[in-house]
Structure 1
Amino acid sequence: MIDVIETTLAWRRLSPRMLVIHPFQEVVRAAPALLGLLVAGTSSGGQGQWWSIGGVGLMVVLGMLRWFTTTYRITPEHVQVRRGLLTRKVVTVPRDRVRTVDVTSHVLHRVLGLARVEVGTGTSERRREGRLKLDALTAAEAARLRVELLHRSPAAPVTPSEGAPVAEGAPVAAPVAPPAGSTPAAETELARMRPAWVRFGPFTMSGLVTVGVIAGFASRLVSEGNVDLGRVGPVQETWRWFSAMSLLLEIATVVLVLAVFVSVASTLGYVLAFGNFRLTRHTEGTLHVTRGLLTTRATTIEERRLRGVEVSEPLLLRAVRGARLSAVTTGLRTAQGSQRGGSMLLPPAPRADAVSVARLVLPRAAGTPSAAPATPASPATSASVASSAVEASPVTADLTAHGPAALRRRFTRAYGVHALVLAVLLALWWWAGLPSWTWLTAAALLPLTALLAADRYRSLGHALTSGYLVTRWGSLSRRRVALECDGVIGWNIERSFFQRRARLATLTATTAAGKQGYQVPDVDLAEALRLAAAGTPGLLDPFLVKAQHVS
C-alpha cells in the first residue's frame, strides 16, 4: 500500500514525445524574426544564414528545456504543476475547484499521439490565471485525467508503468481509460454538425482575423528584412493597374476583393474549427463538446456549474437567421469570445437549432413539467402541457419592452454621435479643404442611424421566468442571456446623469459565472428593484424603504 501511495503522489514528467512539439512551436513563433535575420544578413553581404541557424538552435534548446523543468502530480486533494529553470514556480489547484477540462490536439500532437490539457478553476479567467496547462500528455493519459478530475473519482491503486489514478468503478488490478477519441456508452447526443451549417461560415466574419494575421506577418517580415515592395515587379504592375481606375471604382474593387477573401477564409475557418462537432450529455453529470478537423478540441463542463446560456446573433448572422449558443458557467474562457472560447455549446447554426439545444442544455427550470402526468391525459391536455413547457422556457419566453423613455434614449444617443461626426466633417471641409463628399456621405447616412437606433430598442427586453433572469440587448451583436437566479450573488443598480433625468437605471446581475455580470440596460427604476427583489428574495430588504400612504 505504501508503494501505491508513493507512486500516486510522485512527481511525473510530461511525455518525452513533447521534445518534438515544443522546439517546433518555438521555431514557428520566432519565424518572422529568423527570416528577417536571414534576409537582412544576406542582403548586406553578411552571413545571415548562420545567424538564422543559431537562432533556430536557441529556440530548439529553449523548447527542450520545458520537458526537463516541468513536472506534475495528482494528489487526493490537489493538482500541482512545477516548472521553471532559473525561477522555480509551483502551481497548485485544489481538486474541488476544478470546473472544466479542455483537451486539445493540434496536427503535430495528433501525429505523435499527444494532447494538451487545460484545467479551469473559474478564478481570474480574464487574466488567464487560475488555469493549469499540461502540454503535452499522451492521449490516453489526457482522457484519464479528464475523467478523474471532473467526475471526482477517488484515487485508485495504479501500476508504476501507468503512474496515474483511475476512475471510480474501474478494476483495481487493471486501471484502463477509454481510448482517445472513443465514444463512451453512457451518453446522449444533443447536437451534431450538419453539412448545411457551412452556409453560415461566410457570415461569421472570422476571416477578418485571417486578413489581419496575414497582413501583420507580411508587414513584420518586410520590416525585418528591409524589403522595398515598390521595387517588386508584380507589386508595381498591380499598383499601376489599380491607380488607373477612378476613385469609386477603386473603392468598389477593394471592397469586392476583401469581401471575397474574407468569405472564403471565414468558410474555410468554419469547416476547420467546427468540423466533426458533437455535443453530448453524460450520465456522470457533464456536457462534452468535441470539434475540429486539423486541430481537435474536447471540452467537458460540469452541469452543476452551469448557470445559464447565451444566444448571440451578430448582425450578418442574424440576417440569415443564424445564431451561436454559449454556456454561462464558471471555469470557462469568456474573454476570447464565444466562438473561440471553451464556453461554446453550438457553432453558428440555424437559430431554431440554437434555441432547441439551449432548452435541452438548461437545468430544468422551476415550473417546467419534469415528468409526464401519472394518469392518462387527453390530446388537448397533452398539448396544453407542451405549450406551457414552451412558454416557461427562458429561451422562448416573451420579453417585457423597456418603454418610451428607453426608445428616446436610443435615438438621442444615436443622433448625438452622428451629429458630432457630421459637425467635425463640416468643420474640416470648411477650414481644412476636406473633400465635400465626406460630409455629404455622413448626412446621407442619417436614415441608417435611425434604423440602427430603432433596432437597438427592439432588441431591448427582459423577463423573470421559471427561476431565470432573461435579458436581451444589442443590435450589431444581439445577445439573449438566460441566467439562473440561484447563480446571482448580488445586484448593482447604476444611474447616470441622463438616466436619472429619464427615470431609468441599468440593473446588473453579478454572478461568478461567464462574464461575472449581465445587464438589463435602461429599465425603469421601479422595475429594476422589482426584478432584483423577485430574483433573490430577501436580499434587498434591508435597503428598501416602503412608502407610507397618508390618508
Structure 2
Amino acid sequence: MSATVTDWRRLSPRMLVIHPIQEVVRAAPALLGLLVAGSSSGGHGPLWSLVGVAITVLLGTTRWFTTTYRITPEHVQVRKGLLHRKVLTVPLDRVRTVDVTSNILHRVLGLARVEVGTGRSDRKGGGELKLDALGAPEAAHLRVELLHRENRTATAATTAATATTAEGPAADAPAAPVAIPWQAGVETELAALRPEWIRFGPFTLSGLITVGIIAGFVSRLASEGNVNLGQITPVKTTLGWFGSLSLPVEIATAVLVLAVFVAVASTLGYVLAFWGFRLTRHSSGTLHVNRGLITTRATTIEERRLRGLEFSEPLLLRAVRGARLIAVTTGLRVGQGAQRGGSMLLPPAPRGEAESVAVRVLGGDAATVSGPLVPHGPAARRRRFTRALGVVVSWIVVCLVLWEWSDLPAWTWVAGLALLPVTALIAADRYRSLGHALVAGHLVTRWGSLVRRRVALEYDGIIGWNIERSFFQRRAGLVTLTATTAAGRQGYRVQDVALAEAIRLASAGSPGLLDPFVSGGTPRPEPQVSGGPPDVAQPLVSG
C-alpha cells in the first residue's frame, strides 16, 4: 500500500462555507431566544444575537481543523472533536454500505456528504462514520475505495504472487502489498425511473407530512408574531364563505381540499425524491442506487451483505397495483425510515416491475417473490375476526350501557355498529395477507393489511429462531415464529402457525439447530418457569 493511502486526509476547504450556515440554522431557536431575552431585559437583543451568531460560526469552522480521516489496509479511521477528542476506528470488513448525499448547497459548491454504514445499527449514531463534506470526485473515489477494495486487494495479491514466483523467492517469504490502479468494472442497469411511475406518487400519502409541517409552521409563526390569522382579509373571506355552507357540504369540501393538497404534495415529493432514479449492479458485487432532483443521493450496497428483499404495499398503493422494493441488509433503515435510510431499491412502481426487479436482484426463482404461499388455516382466521370484532363489540356494549344510564350521545354506539362491517373486511384482508413458504433457500413470509409486506429472507442470514405463544394462541394451538437476523428489522415473524409447522420451518432453515428441542419429530415438553404458571412457554432462541 502506498504511503499516501494511509496519510491523514482533511475535509474539503469549501466546507467552511457550508458548516457555519448549517450551525446557524441548527442554533436558530437559541439565537431567537437570545434576541427576545436581550430585547426585553436591556435592549441589547440584536447585539447578543450577533455574538451568538459569531460563536456559532466559529464553532462551525473548527470542524475543518479538527476532523481528519484515513484508510489503512485494515481500518477506516476518523479523528474529530475540539475539547473532547475522539478517534473512530472501523475494520474494513465491517463496511456494509456507502451513502453519498449532496443537497443543493453541496451541489453548488461541488461537495458531497459520505456516510459509511458498518452494520451495527440503522439508528442514529449506531455505527455510521460521516464525513461532511468532501469534494464530489473525492467522495465518489472513496466509495470505490471502501466497497471495491476486496477485489483490488485480491488482484494485487495475485500480481505479487506471480512476480515473486517468477523471481523465485523463498516459499515462506511474505508478499509485499502491491498498489495497482482500480479498473472500472461493468455496470448493468436493473431499473430506471419511467415517467408513468409518477402516477403512483399521490397514493404514497407522503403529503400528509407536508400538511402537518406547514400547519405547525404557520401556527408557530402566528403565535410568535401575535398575529390573528382570522383577521387577514383573504382568510376571513374564505372562512366566511365556508361557514355559510351546510355541515355535510363543509365536511365534503374540507375532505376534497385536503385530498387534492395531499395528492399534489405527495406527487411533488415523489419527483423530488426519486427523479433520476437508477438501480445498477456492479461487476465487483455491489448494487448502486442513484436518485434525487434537488438533493441527490447515491447508495452502494455490497451484495454479499444483502440478506433478502421486502415488498411493501400500503393499502392505497396496493389498490392501484403498486409496490415498493426494500433491501434487507445491515446498516440501512427499513420500515418508516427506508426512504431516508437509503434501503429502498425501487420507488413506488407497478407491482409487476417490482417483482421483475426483485428476481434480477436475487438472481433466483420467481416463486420467491411471486409464488403461492401456504395459508395459516381456520384457527388463524378465527383469531383475526375475534380480535377485530371483539374490540368493536366491547366498545358498543360499553357505549350502550353509558347511553342507558347517563347522558352519553347515541351516536357513539351507532358509530360502533357502522364500524362492524369495516372491521370485518379488515380482518378478512389480514387473513388473506397471511402466508409463508420455503423457496430456493429463502424463508418467505407475508403479513399486514393497511401495509402488507412480503419478505424473502435468506437462510444464511438467519442467526436464530424464536417461538412464542400468548395465552390466546395456546388456546388456539398457534405460535408466532420469529427468524432473527442482523439485517433489516432484526426479526421477521411468521404469525399464527401451528407449532409443528413452526418447528418444520425452523429446522429446514437451520438444519440441526433445534434437535435438542425435538424428539422423534415432535417438540419436547416445554420447560416450566420456576414460580410461574405451568403453561408459560419459553422461547427457543439461538444465536
State whether residues 121 and 330 of structure 2, in contact with CA within 8 Å, keep that contact through their aligned partners in structure 1. Answer: no
User: Counterpart in 2 of 1:122?
Assistant: 119
Task: Give the equivalent residue in structure 1 for 2:18.
Answer: 21
Cα distance, 1:341 vs structure 2: 2.1
Q: Measure the CA separation in 2 of the matches of 1:243 and 1:508.
A: 54
**Matches of 2:497 and 2:335 in 1, distance apart?**
27
Offset, 1:239 = 3.6
Q: Who is 1:463 aligned against? A: 437
Q: Deviations over 1:69-125 (max 9, x none)?
A: 222121111111122222222211111100000000111111111000000011122
Alignment of 1:137-536 (within 5 A): 137-153=134-150, 169-170=180-181, 186-334=186-334, 336-364=336-364, 389-390=365-366, 393-426=367-400, 429=403, 433-536=407-510
**The residue matched to 2:438 in structure 1 has which SS?**
strand
Kept after mapping to 2: 8 A contact 1:40/1:225: no
Give the direction of change, closer, same or farther, for the CA distance of 1:447–1:12 in structure 2 (3 Å limit). Answer: same
Alignment-derived partner of residue 93 in structure 2: 96
Structure 1 unaligned residues grouped into runs of 5+: 157-165, 172-176, 178-183, 365-388
* Structure 2 match to 1:545: 519
Q: Percent of counterpart pairs with the same letter?
A: 72
- Equivalent residue, structure 1, for 2:528: none
Paired with 1:26 and 1:54, the residues of 2 have a C-alpha distance of 14
| Secondary structure of the structure 1 residue equivalent to 2:339 | coil
Task: Report what 1:371 is aligned to.
Answer: none
Trace 1:26-65 onto structure 2 (pairs within 5 A): 26-31=23-28, 34=31, 46=43, 49-65=46-62
- Alignment partner, residue 382 of structure 1: none
Q: Is the aligned partner of 1:9 residue 2:13?
A: no
The alpha carbon displacement at 1:12 in A equals 2.1
C-alpha distance in 2 between matches for 1:60 and 1:425:
60
- The alignment's C-alpha RMSD in Å is 2.7
CA separation in 2, counterparts of 1:254 and 1:432?
A: 33
Aligned residue identity for 2:95: V
State the TM-score, normalizing by the size of structure 2. Answer: 0.85
Q: Which amino acid aligns with 1:486?
A: D
Residues 1:112 and 2:109 are matched in the alignment: yes
User: In the aligned structure 2, how far is the partner of 1:75 from the partner of 1:488?
Assistant: 31
Q: Is the 1:192–1:278 contact (alpha carbons within 8 Å) kept by the matching residues of 2?
A: yes
Stretch of structure 1 that moved more, 431-440 or 306-315: 431-440
Alpha-carbon offset, residue 319 of structure 1:
0.3
> Offset at 1:486?
1.5
What is the identity, as a one-letter code, of the residue corresponding to 2:57? V
TM-score when normalising by structure 1? 0.84
**Cα distance, 1:294 vs structure 2:** 0.5
Deviations 1:479-514 (A, max 9, x none): 000011111111100000000000000000011111
Shift of 1:405: 0.2
1:151 CA drift (Å): 1.2
Alpha-carbon contact 2:446-2:453 (below 8 Å) kept: yes
Count of residue pairs the alignment pairs up: 499
> Following the alignment from structure 1 to structure 2, what is the Cα–Cα distance between the partners of residues 526 and 432?
51
How has the CA–CA distance of structure 1 residues 53 and 336 changed in structure 2, closer, same or farther, with 3 Å as cutoff?
Answer: farther
**Alpha-carbon shift at residue 170 of structure 1 (Å):** 1.1
Give the Cα–Cα distance (whole angstroms) in 2 for the partners of residues 54 and 235 of structure 1.
Answer: 39
Deviation of 1:439 after TM superposition, in Å, equals 3.1
- What one-letter code is carried by the residue in structure 2 that aligns with 1:443? L
- Alignment match, 1:66: 63
Relative distance call for 1:473 and 1:547 in structure 2 (3 A) is: closer
**Any gaps of 5 or more consecutive residues in structure 2?**
157-176, 523-543
**Per-residue deviation, 1:249:** 2.7
2:256 counterpart letter in structure 1: L
